[in-house]
Structure 1
């Protein structure tokens, strides 16, 4: 009996607890249903196109249910509402669109109000840190920098005009024999060029020998007579010397004491025969060109430097020359002269560079490329990277970072360009931060900001009203 009583009691307690649990669950379900029923949707929007909405449940062309849009309760952590006069409403995603009244964008998002006092100074723009990071904005500090500019030009090897010698006789004669008988032949100073016969030379030799004989005959005469005879002999010998007869031949004439039938004409310099009009057996006249000899131990390279680069070329600058015929070698020289004229056809200025040519590798006519180094050492200038400059053709600006996310376009005047940098003449000071990356995007937004500032000014409002009146309000 006791066991039966206990079992009955347990069953009764279980039934009572189940009833209480079921009642509590029913109350909870009813409360949740009431809560859901109280949260009514504002409208229903197309699942794929938020612009299409409906006040009642509907389905799209694919059979999908429209999505219910509920009113979101304000969050407890929301910032306090701003106070002040609302100037206008801007696009929530930063697009170039504003509205004087509340409005929604194409995604159904509310335009954001812009309150009085939130505007920045004219020409400045505010960009959020997230957007700065997304654009990849980088800046650099303006500082003084030594600028080294490399100028490249093309040119060709030429003969040094100061080392060209013409062999021209001072008397009439005939060429008996040629020793230098080929163009391009290398000649040493004092080397015989040709044997010549000349009646004038024969006469000069005879006059010298007669003067020598008279000098010996007057050894017992007065001092005045001896001096006169000596001067006559010296003058005759000196005339032969003026006619480019070598000292060795004059000594031979003094020793033999008889005229030499032919005399040698010697090379005045070391060099190469460039021209040889002389032909064996030909007759020549005084002043006629027989040889043109050039000393090629030093040569010129005449380079054509573009007009915009000519202003930084200076005499004495070091030049590195690469010759096409010797691709593995670099020849070093110096700027010796800048020609005073400009070639109007090519807009270039010729620059003369002297190159030592001890090995004889630099042959006249060879082409080569020149690299000139121009360094701005005087008053080391402020400089900014080339990438920081926005050049529209009529102005040159940089974007100056004014603070966290604030940028301002700054007009600058620039000078020398070198090593990827531009010299800053005016507009910036040392320590300024300028944008070097994504500056074109920021500049576009800055121009938009300036346009919006002018559009929202009181004068612009009056002009806009007048324009709308003239066009019938359309």
Structure 2
């Protein structure tokens, strides 16, 4: 009991002593010391000076950079960019970095891919008149009179109940592995002049499902001189198309897979014969095969050439059109930055800040890059800036420089 009373007396005595010391022995803060603290804090808010090209060179006074000799610029502190949504950059800094802006837009992306190879065959001038072997009605026309069509290219489709019935039976027999039934039905399809994809039971070349309509393909490359309009009722042995061609050189070409990955069947091409410099001969891609290893792509194409202009085995070169079939969202290819396997762009926000954005890139040509996701039409992106091409700059280093 006595120990508890003694502890309580000592504790109360300590509290009273601390109060007396704080009231009478410690000096009270005066206005002068308060002003000194305020001035010290204000110094941290005063603008400094920094080199626009070497952010590590800073000074509290005006001067020049000891590395490049450029005048130091005022580095004013700002609340902008503190929310992590971007980096605020002064106009002077932007000019020093050589920043150039472009906007995402919609348009086609095309590029000429060079490929080399040799002539496989030369076919003399041919005229083919095509007659239908089924009754039906023209549903859709894919090529117009005067068009140059490649071998195997779709000309028109025919709606025919008898063809659909036979094709459905063939596909059912294939599904049930009724090989004897497939053999018998295949003869009926062949008698209708069905295309090879129907006889195979799958369309691997065009990478599409078989349609219930009969598809008429061009028997060889050439000019479509005659066709049939949509809605025309057709009878067996009725003439529906005519394809005429001059001499055709079928060429097997080879190109790097990275360049030829956007080349597809039906794309236009131009043949260059070494012994006839300065002249180009038109053609169309027939088939494209990409190697398993991914290094090279094989391109087969037909070209219209003058009689006796070339022969089998002659080495040739050709320019093949590659790119997107329809309009796509595109930006200049110089705006795309590859960082650790991810494609990014530097976007200029409406607030004037710069921000890195991950994008999904499609076809990339020498001038334009296709953007599948990450940007919208009208978005502004940086297409050229010194910090993007400086040998010491990665994406993070570039933004560290802007943040200085």
Range class of TM-score, shorter chain: 0.3 to 0.5
Greater relative contact order (CA < 8 Å, ≥ 6 in sequence): 2
Question: Structure 1 length normalisation: TM-score?
Answer: 0.42
Higher radius of gyration, 1 or 2: 1
Question: Structure 2 length normalisation: TM-score?
Answer: 0.48
